[in-house]
């Protein structure tokens, strides 16, 4: 990169759904890079709760305050996608040591595939270090509150999609 070059970064993920932890990384990343592309991976093997289109809608609404953030999606190798988007950075959030071990392997493979693309890790904010999309879905499906863990729009969509059966709700209330 030459001095004064605009730095484009990609923050990839499944975002099924977006959490406030993701938003923390997006907000901080938007301050570090000239342009941040939040990109949803098409990965049907994960059996997503929301379609790519639904996730993109929730992301667009959630990142509206950040003028240099755009939403996209991709299939295939992240390193190749980064090159197609003229991105020089892949942004990844790290919550725990277990995240680091996996992300390190991915970063090294991406570097091998596209040496000009760097991976930058951001540590999760302390308030968000325990949040995962999987945990959020589990809590809300069992009738728990996820207020403060996801944007209000996402909480509403989750409640509509994962409404616990009436019998389960009654059982939870009587035990």
What is the set of active-site residues?
22, 46, 95, 133
Q: Give me the sign of the Cα torsion angle 40, 42, 45, 48.
A: positive
Where helices occur in the chain by DSSP H, the ranges are 20-32, 52-63, 78-84, 97-113, 133-141, 152-161, 166-174
Residues 113 and 155: their CA atoms lie apart, in Å, by: 38
Q: How far is CA 175 from CA 100, 168, 171, in A?
A: 39, 11, 6
């Amino acid at each position: 990169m030459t001095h004064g070059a605009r730095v484009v970064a990609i923050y990839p993920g499944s975002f099924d759904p977006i959490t406030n932890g993701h938003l923390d990384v997006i907000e901080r990343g938007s301050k570090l890079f000239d342009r941040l592309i939040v990109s949803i991976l098409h990965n049907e093997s994960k059996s997503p709760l929301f379609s790519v289109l639904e996730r993109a809608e929730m992301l667009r609404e959630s990142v509206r305050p950040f003028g240099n953030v755009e939403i996209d999606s991709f299939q295939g190798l992240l390193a190749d996608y980064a090159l197609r988007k003229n991105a020089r950075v892949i942004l990844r959030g790290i919550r725990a040591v277990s995240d680091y071990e996996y992300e390190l392997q991915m970063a090294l493979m991406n570097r091998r595939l596209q040496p000009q693309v760097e991976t930058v890790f951001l540590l999760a904010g302390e308030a968000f270090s325990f949040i995962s999309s999987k945990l959020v879905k589990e809590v809300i499906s069992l009738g728990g509150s996820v207020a403060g863990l996801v944007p209000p729009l996402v909480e509403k969509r989750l409640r509509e999609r994962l409404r616990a059966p009436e019998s389960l709700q009654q059982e939870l209330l009587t035990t």
